[in-house]
Structure 1
Amino acid sequence: MSYNYLPLDRKWLHFSQIKNLLDFNQHVSITFDAHERILACREYLDRKMAEKDRLFYGINTGFGFLQNVKIDADQIGQLQYNLLVSHACGLGEEVPADIVKLMLMLKIKSLSYGHSGVQIDTVKRLMEMYNHDVLPVIYTQGSLGASGDLAPLSHLSLPLIGLGEVYYQGQKMPSAEALQKLGWTPLQLQSKEGLALINGTQFMSAYGLYCLKKAEHLLAMADMISALSFDAFDCTTEPLREQIHAIRAHAGQINTATTLRKYLSDSAIAARSKDQVQDPYSFRCIPQVHGASKDAFEHVLSVFIREINSVTDNPNIFPDDDLILSGGNFHGQPLAMALDYLSISMSEIANIAERRTYQLISGQRGLPLFLVKNPGLHSGFMIPQYTAAGIVSENKQLCTPASVDSISSSNNQEDHVSMGANAATKCYRVIENVEKVLAIELMSAAQALDFRRPSKSGRDIEHLVAAFREKVSFNEQDRVLHDDMKAAVNFLRNYRIPEDVR
């Protein structure tokens, strides 16, 4: 396949395409089919607008509680302009660049179906923004995840009309300045366009896809790091035997046990006889715990792939059926619940990783206390476990579901909301925390394994440790471990398990 650009239309978009978009810095483009459907929908809407005394929500009426206020024909453009500027009420931190790019792409994708009524120039400008890296400044707070992601998508759309701020050529600047540099003229919005732009679930969806992409990598790394810890703690492989997992046939559990057996199949440490009969749950139950998180991941992924292949603005226009229907596809409930589930499932990956780290520093199985020579004079790996424990506790607090909350808005017209945007930003923080805890386990397990020398673990594990040792050396005596931990996080983020290992 070509890695030059991602085609966007009504065809199903797959997770692999999302990952390629970010990994290969692709451009985006609507297809001819999408172009024609957008034109046809706009032409249909223009014909309907010519009919006298017909009210269409958000097209020639006010919004939300103001739905019954009729807007004069000569004020339709002003209505859409006002919508964008009045709803750009974001606060908080700035949304990361990769997530902004996903938001732009997903908005183009949703509009490409031809059910939104936008003019083709609006879609083209969104594509130009994406392909020229003109990235709107968007904020994490402001969406209730129900009327769509109103505030974030308003900030996404402000540059279309020459307002707001963007990052361009590495600099943050007013949108008007970036447009002038590019020779672009601000757009004049037509009927329905403001609503089509800011109704939708693209903020929640973009966060979810980003978290899923990162979670997929962390789940794979968690298996490999746990296999390293397994040998470093000199565990027995009996709990990994195929027969155990065949009689409790959860797919993630079977996958994890198979993966760990593969990593340990050529390990001299794993092959030797053990003194203990059983190991702690954090080792013995790796397949059951990691596997449950993998099964949750697959469910959440299915929800998000279905969502990004949907139209989520309102009203929806159906030219072939001569219908303009007002509904609620912008409500983020499916995403809110899935994001909460992903947070919980990934938090457990960190939870069990911290427990393995704790066991490794405990002075058992022939390992020195706190994994350092001459403990007492040296504190060794005592405090990285503190850090991991604090992060795991933070994750437990973040995993309180956002989706169980609702606060009425718009004068009680919008009386049930999903809070999916909060679920999305919390999930992002959880995923970032999981990465840190796994990095601490990796650092601790590599140190423990070096105390097993000259005995060797499996080929794939030894390859991981050798690569890690190029970035973080064996700890002979106390030093500033913050630097090692930062290096471990960076290593984990960028390490790619070889294809022949997977």
Structure 2
Amino acid sequence: MGQEVVVLDGDSLTIKSLLEITRKGKKVELSEEAIKKIKKSRKIIESKLDKDEIIYGVSTGFGKLSDAVISPSERGILQTKLIKSHSIGFGPFLPDEIVLGAMIIELNSFCRGASGIRIEIAELLQKLINEKVIPQVPSVGSLGASGDLSPLAYIARILIGEGKAKFNNEVLKGSEILKRIESTPIELQAKEGLSLINGTHVLTSFAAHSVYDSINVLENSVLAVGLTLEAFDGNTRAFSSFVSNLRPHKGQIKFAKAILDILEGSTLLKTEPKRIQDPYSIRCSPQVHGAVLDVICHCKRVVEIELNSTTDNPLINLETSEVISGGNFHGEPIGLAMDYLCIAMTDLGNISERRVNLLLDASISGLPSFLIKEPGLNSGLMMIQYLDAAIAAENKILASPASIDNISVSANQEDHVSMGFTASKKAYQLVRNIVQMVAIEFYTAYQALGFKEDKNKISNIVLEIFNFISKDIPLLTEDKFFDEEVNWVARKIENQLFTDIAKKKLGHIFGDNL
């Protein structure tokens, strides 16, 4: 077992380790203790079936049909029929990393030994993950209670040799993929179909990737503010520890300190400010960005609890051998957290757009209009704010909470659903929008810094970022196509190249424990 393996035990999966599998290609292994738990929980189920005990979804139908008792000879058939009947969705297929993440989260959930599956199910799921088999899962169909029934059914189809999935850049039938990885279709037994589709794994995968990317874009937003402050000749006194300590929210304190660290060496820290007070989008950035940081930290805690939870139903108690019906499949914890994240990230975009406006408005910034020589003949960066505003408008729609909605289903048996899948899916999209907005601020501030005659007066970190960009993007001297240049900046944000520059000098931006 080397560094390229993440061991799943049901208790220690983190957002970071999940993404090391989905984005960096690490493989998974099951811990010895997890294997023991899985086998023990299956023995409990089989023992109860031998005694003809009535167990929901094992010896009965599902949802409103739970009063229907299923004969022993039909219990395996019931589970296969469940996969077939619940494979209903539409829309573009989910991103590969989201589907793979859901499979990992599901396998980690099985490691807790509360689901009653055979070890063969876990082993095949592990193999599919390690072979990077990506089931094709439609993006619409889950209510986030009972978990992600529809999308998980599409994943489960591959285990029984049905459906389609991507494998080695080909889209193949499930049966063909199993042949290629030298496996055979699973014949589902009692409880197993239900365990495979009854969980919050897909919405949690969306949430985990969204939180990780939110942390990255927020760290980059600190650098963007640093560039804007230098270009705007901003007043840094508002970032003093004296101010933050009088209102000791952790996020505000961390953000203000990070700004001062990034501006180390700048004459802004040593000279009289150009203005007594800057506009709110600069002066209040610790209060706004810091509040966003606090929201992200909350969401991270919620998601990492969910990563190491069992959201199946019914659940097997390994200590007492009881089988208990509960509601862990309900996606409300993640749904609420993702709606919260959407609201916070939307306002992060709002304040960034306002700083872009400051830099483009000559009457406020003192810089050339729209950051171009000969404005009038040239439009410069006029349209970049239009793009910023369009993204901001879309974000406000995406920030509308999904978790406040409810539509009763299954003949009112499932009369309250979380819509957590929708909340998580839109968070994933919204965070990508914010990457583009922060890229716009980077690009605008970079062009504004080009008008500073003495670059030695700006901080070392800001200067290094400026020089890094200038190697690939020449400063604007006349109108040109620059959309691909903005996209270039966005890719560098996603790949953490700007934050790497800062972290080489500072060690971290907000602290090692984020």
For normalisation by structure 1, the TM-score amounts to: 0.97
Indicate whether 1:248 and 2:247 are aligned.
yes
Q: Measure, in 2, the Cα distance between the counterparts of 1:471 and 1:177.
A: 45
Which stretch has the larger CA shift, 262-271 or 342-351?
A: 262-271
| Residue aligning to 2:355 | 356
Q: Is the counterpart of residue 371 in structure 1 residue 366 in structure 2?
A: no
Q: CA deviation at 1:490?
A: 1.3
- 1:173 Cα offset (Å): 1.8
Partner of 2:491: 490
Distance 1:388 1:74 in 2: 61
**One-letter amino acid matched to 2:491:** N
1:160: which partner in 2? Answer: 159
Aligned to 2:309: 310
Q: Which amino acid aligns with 2:380?
A: G
* Deviation, structure 1 residue 449: 0.6
Gaps of 5+ in 1: none
Answer yes or no: is 1:292 the counterpart of 2:298: no
Q: In the alignment, is the contact (CA less than 8 A) between 1:234 and 1:270 conserved in 2?
A: no
Superposed CA deviations along residues 107-149 of structure 1, whole A, max 9, x for unmatched, are: 0000011110101111000000000111111122100001010
Q: Structure 1 residue 49 and structure 2 residue 36: aligned?
A: no
Q: Distance in 1 between matches of 2:199 and 2:217?
A: 29
Aligned equivalents of 2:208 and 2:218: distance in 1?
15
Partner residue in 2 for 1:346: 345
Instruction: State the distance in 2 between where 1:10 and 1:174 align.
Output: 30
Letter of the structure 2 residue corresponding to residue 106 of structure 1: I
How far apart are 1:185 and its partner, in Å?
1.0
CA distance in 2, matches of 1:74, 1:460: 69
In 1: Cα distance, 2:496 partner to 2:207 partner: 22
Q: How does 1:381-460 map to 2 (within 5 A)?
A: 381-455=381-455, 456-460=457-461
Deviation per residue, 1:236-279 (Å, 9 max, x gap): 11101110111000000000000001111211355333332111
User: What aligned pairs does 1:228-267 form with structure 2 within 5 A after superposition?
Assistant: 228-267=227-266
Contact residue 14 and residue 307 of structure 2 kept, 8 A: no
Taking every aligned residue pair, what percent have the same amino acid on both sides? 35
- Tell which deviates more after alignment, 14-23 or 350-359: 14-23
Q: Contact between 1:104 and 1:130, CA under 8 Å: does it hold in 2?
A: yes
Note the C-alpha offset of 1:367: 0.6
Letter aligned with residue 361 of structure 1: L
Tell me how large the CA RMSD over aligned residues is. 1.3
Once residues 22 and 59 of structure 2 are traced to their aligned partners in structure 1, the CA distance between those partners, rounded to angstroms, is 39
Residue in structure 1 matched with residue 272 of structure 2 by the alignment = 273
In the alignment, residue 148 of structure 1 is paired with which amino acid?
Answer: G
Question: Could you tell me how far apart the structure 1 residues matched to 2:31 and 2:181 are?
Answer: 24
Q: Distance in 2 between matches of 1:403 and 1:292?
A: 21
Instruction: Give the 3-state SS of the residue equivalent to 1:297 in structure 2.
Output: helix
Matched, 1:227 2:216: no
2:465 equivalent in structure 1:
464
Find the aligned partners of 2:256 and 2:140 in 1 and give their Cα distance. Answer: 41
Name the stretch that deviates more: 82-91 or 451-460.
Answer: 451-460
Per-residue deviation at 1:487?
Answer: 1.5
Q: TM-score, normalised by structure 2?
A: 0.95
Structure 2: distance between partners of 1:281 and 1:480 = 32
Distance (whole Å) between structure 2 residues aligned to residue 365 and residue 318 of structure 1: 65
Runs of 4+ in 1 over 6 A off after TM superposition: none
- Amino acid across the alignment from 1:445: A
> Which runs of structure 2 are paired with 1:160-239 in the superposition (5 Å)?
160-239=159-238
Partner deviation per Cα, 1:216-246 (whole Å, 9 max, x = no partner): 1101000011111011111111101110111
Deviations 1:432-462 (A, max 9, x none): 1000100111100000011112233211111
How many positions carry a matched residue from both structures? 501
Instruction: Give the superposition deviation at 1:100.
Output: 1.3
Superposition deviation, residue 182 in structure 1: 2.2
Structure 2 spans left out of the alignment, 5+ residues:
509-514
Look up the match of 1:67: 66
How big is the shift at 1:2? 4.7
Q: Provide Cα deviations, 1:386-408, integer angstroms capped at 9, x if missing partner.
A: 00011001101111100000000
Contact 2:15 2:209 in 1 (8 A): no
Distance 1:184 1:22 in 2: 22
Q: What is residue 57 of structure 2 aligned with on the other side?
A: 58
Provide, for residues 324-346 of structure 1, a one-character-per-residue CA deviation record: whole Å limited to 9, x for no partner. 11111000111100000011111
Q: Deviations over 1:48-93 (max 9, x none)?
A: 10113x2110001110000000111111111000101111112112
The letter for the 1-side match of 2:301 is: S
- Does the Cα contact within 8 Å between 1:402 and 1:422 map onto a contact in 2? yes
Q: Which moved more, 1:259-268 or 1:368-377?
A: 259-268
State the AA in 2 paired with 1:147: S
| 3-state SS of paired residue (1:320) | coil
Residue 182 of structure 1 aligns with an amino acid whose one-letter code is I
Per-residue deviation, residues 322-372 of structure 1 (Å, max 9, x unmatched): 211111100011110000001111111111100000110001333100001
**SS at the partner of 2:319?**
helix
Say which is worse superposed, 243-252 or 475-484, in terms of deviation.
Answer: 475-484
Residue 18 of structure 1, CA deviation:
2.7
Deviation at 1:186, TM superposition (A): 0.6
Report the Cα distance in structure 1 between the residues aligned to 2:494 and 2:269, rounded to whole angstroms: 27
Question: Quick check: 1:253–1:287 contact (8 Å CA) kept in 2?
Answer: yes
- Tell me if 1:94 matches 2:93: yes
Does the aligned pair in 2 maintain the 1:472–1:487 contact within 8 Å? Answer: no
Give the Cα separation in 2 of the matches to 1:472 and 1:417. Answer: 49
Give deviations 1:276-334, integer Å, cap 9, x for gaps: 21110000011000000000011111111111111110000114202111111000111
SS at match of 1:115: coil
Residue type at the aligned position of 1:416 = H
